[in-house]
Chains A and B, each alone.
Chain A
Amino acid sequence: MAIRSSSPEDYKVVSAIITSDRLGSFEFDVVSSIVDMSFSEALDALSCSGQITLVDDANLLAVIDFQGTEYITFEMGLPDEVQPLLKRTFVINELMNSQKANDQSEVLMFSLDSIDSYINALTNVNKVYDGTPAEIIQKIAKDSFGLKKIVLTNDTLFQGPMRVIIPNWTPFVAMKWLADRCTSALGTPYFIWSSLGDENIRLLDLQSLLEGVPMNANQPYRYNQGSAQNMSEQNPTLQAYNIKRFTVENTENTVDIAYDGGISGEYRFLDTTTFQDNKYQYDVNNVYRQLADKSNLFTKGATPNYDTEFKINDKNIHSYNTTRATQIATSKVYNDMPSYHEAVTPEAHAQKATSLSLREFMYKSAMEIIIPGYNMYYSGSKNYSNVSVGNLISLEFLDNDPKQAGANISDNTPDGKRSGVYLIEACRHMIKNDQGKFKYECVLKILKIANRDGMTQVPV
């Protein structure tokens, strides 16, 4: 871990140039007018979006005559230049708000869409595709966005080749629909998303994501009120691993997941060619047991975020037949290839239920943290690609156990419930102009399906 001299929140914005086809070669560099801006990326989001707030004291609004058809190209990055600058162009697609500050200035807030997002909105996909869901996603990406668009995936996909006819959807809707059909052999769901730092699309399953190595395996992010308030007293490298704030809202709601069918229920897949009723009794306890046996998700005594012991009326909640879902899954719709809904066995169909259930459990213990932006910066360099969305992050919170007077931080023990490894589900990169200097921090939404070892609950 190299020692840095600058703050982990320091950032530089070299340029923010507005152009438009109707303005010809005229360019407007608005970098000095930026109040703040943010860029968002998230699992299941196939494009990055953003917002920018500008102070207009040069009659910008009238001179450019904003139509929602302007480009803005940013060149920005970390001051230490370990990584190259991030150069990214967005379409300014909406003037969200404007407020007069005084007679000579106005505050303008714009929303930003990636160019892919704009192309997506303009593109209708209506075509037949053959291949595995991952192959079809790649074909749609190339048909819609060009040959350079790469889908990064792995070989854990369980589903084989199929034929689909995309019924007039945008490319993103079609790709998301196909990703929803993807599972690993154990039924873990696939996520599809794009990154702020490069042009690629990622298609990876939950198991692969959770079995990865945390981006900060040797240096967990720590939450400690004292150090969070006195960051400037630490060396800059350690400062980068401070959790500045965190929020936990509406979490650990087991009954809602049960109501939605994520804990137990009967799933039926009716084949109208044979009228064979493929029936599967779903029980999340069995799923977690399988994951514990056949994956590395619950090693070292880690426990799932589902309470296997809880009883209502002397009956485990996974023993209730809470839901009954029935879908049509007609076979032999095509002579030579399965269709989207087909699967060979009830167990293969049941992966659809497992996938939906695990998605719900992923959000059960969600948390939002705010950290300095330094470690979340990625501008396309392969050496730094294991950051931000889709990667694991290790956190450590201290417990609430009262200590004797005179005890110091080292006497606190980690909070076993909150501490652990999380999957980064979303990241909002926030850049603010602070008296002429840009400051960079990130709001992360993080998820997990297991608590770290040492919990009192019996491991599966």
Chain B
Amino acid sequence: MRTINKLYYGDSFRWFMGVVINTADPLQLGRAQVRIYGIHPENIEDLPSDSLPWAQVMVSPTEGGSSGIGKMPQLIEGARVVGFFMDGGSSQIPLIIGSVPFVEDPSPQQIQQLSNGDNSLQTSAKGISNFITGKTNAEKAFNFFISTNFTPEQSAAMIAGLVEQSTAKMSPTLEVDGSFGIAQWPIVETEGNRYEGLIYFAGNRGISEFSIEAQLQYVLYELRTFPSFGLGPLKRTKTLTAAVDVFASKYITWNTSTDAQTFARREKSKEIFERFTK
């Protein structure tokens, strides 16, 4: 016979580690959708990312702890977090108590380390490259973005932007007017350090910077590392058009597109979306 008076929530404790998948909390409480290792299936057919629970996030007691006072959680997609289930073994209500730094992509400081000849960093990028499959570079890019939890619309939008940069074949070796690769990263040093970053990024993983694998992973790395490239706004988009416009303006940094260019880019994204989803 079960006993009711033992039903005190604090008596049952189960902790977890997980990956943050989405931080665009509709309630704006700083919550995060989290895929929990060992509890949530990795297969997105059994558990689509949209169906993941929103976990509340604990903040430091140095903050106000009251609405509108103090800092909000600052987790981003891809963060590894630790927490516990407030309902214990039923495991339906997760709460995140912190994030766990881990070696994923080299930070700007790590790139600097690499440039100084320190190759001691370990990364998980070779695991990610398993998702880069397909007959064409565009198909590889679509599968890669889907596997890293972008929606089909967001994935098609990113490819449309990249195709516009590097021709329909998304050639990773294309060099035009001082820019290189699928995103046409500027080589000229005065225009930024993005190309140099690609070289170190690929070198750290033991893969060629001329490969589509390295360059797709680098796109993801840039999005995750530099907020100005617009990962947050992009993840919040629901439509193809919105995703295309955000990616073009934030990542490709085309602030001066003509109406004709914008129209062509949107049409291209529709064509890509239909090609890979039907």
Instruction: Give me the interface of A with B, judged by CB distance under 8 Å.
Output: 126-128, 130, 163-165, 167-168, 177, 259-262, 265, 270, 272-273, 322-328, 330, 332-335, 339-341, 353, 356-357, 359-360, 363
Contacts and interface: CB of A to CB of B under 8 A. Distances in A.
Interface string B102-117: 0000000000000000
A215 to B, nearest CB: 27
13 contacts: A127-B46, A128-B51, A165-B40, A260-B4, A261-B3, A273-B27, A273-B29, A323-B5, A326-B7, A330-B93, A332-B54, A333-B53, A357-B4
Interface string B86-98: 1101111101000
Given A165-B53, A335-B54, A328 B93 contact: yes
B200 to A, nearest CB: 39
B7 A325 contact: yes
Interface string B17-33: 00000000011010000
Contacts of A356: 2, 4
B1 A360 contact: yes
Given A272-B86, A326-B8, A127 B93 contact: no
Contacts of B3: 259-261
Interface in B38-71: 38-41, 46-48, 51, 53-54, 56
Nearest to B6: A325
A333 B93 contact: yes
A307 B1 CA distance: 21
Contacts of A126: 39-41, 46
A357 B1 CA distance: 11
Nearest to B51: A128
A111 B102 CA distance: 51
B4 A333 contact: no
B10 to A, nearest CB: 8
Contacts of A357: 4
B7 A340 contact: no
A324 B87 CA distance: 17
Interface string B75-101: 000000000001101111101000000
Interface residues of B, number: 30
A325 B90 CA distance: 17
B92 A165 contact: yes
Nearest to B95: A272
Interface of B: 1-5, 7-9, 26-27, 29, 38-41, 46-48, 51, 53-54, 56, 86-87, 89-93, 95
Given A273-B27, A325-B4, A330-B86, A339 B92 contact: yes
A128 B48 contact: yes
A265 B4 contact: yes
Contacts of B90: 167, 177, 340-341
A260 B2 CA distance: 8
B210 to A, nearest CB: 41
B38 to A, nearest CB: 7
Given A168-B39, A260-B1, A163 B27 contact: no
Given A127-B47, A163-B51, A341 B5 contact: no
A178 to B, nearest CB: 11
A357 B3 CA distance: 9
Contacts of B56: 272-273, 330
A266 to B, nearest CB: 10
Most A C-beta atoms less than 10 A away, residue of B4, B38, B47, B56: B4
Contacts of B95: 272
A222 to B, nearest CB: 31
B5 A334 contact: no
Contacts of A360: 1
Given A265-B4, A265-B5, A333-B53, 20 more contacts: A128-B48, A164-B92, A167-B90, A168-B38, A272-B56, A272-B93, A272-B95, A273-B29, A325-B5, A325-B8, A327-B7, A328-B9, A332-B27, A333-B93, A335-B26, A339-B92, A339-B93, A341-B92, A356-B2, A359-B2
Contacts of A168: 38-39
A126 B40 CA distance: 7
Contacts of B41: 126-127
Nearest to B5: A323
Contacts of A339: 53, 92-93
A261 B7 CA distance: 10
A228 B39 CA distance: 56
A445 to B, nearest CB: 14
Nearest to A164: B92
Contacts of B91: 165, 167
Contacts of A130: 51
A333 B33 CA distance: 9
Contacts of A262: 4
A324 B46 contact: no
B92 A259 contact: no
A356 B26 CA distance: 35
B235 to A, nearest CB: 14
Given A127-B46, A334-B53, A341 B40 contact: no
B94 to A, nearest CB: 8
A180 to B, nearest CB: 9
A128 B46 contact: yes
Contacts of B7: 325-327
Nearest to B88: A328
A328 B86 contact: yes
A281 to B, nearest CB: 14
A360 B54 CA distance: 35
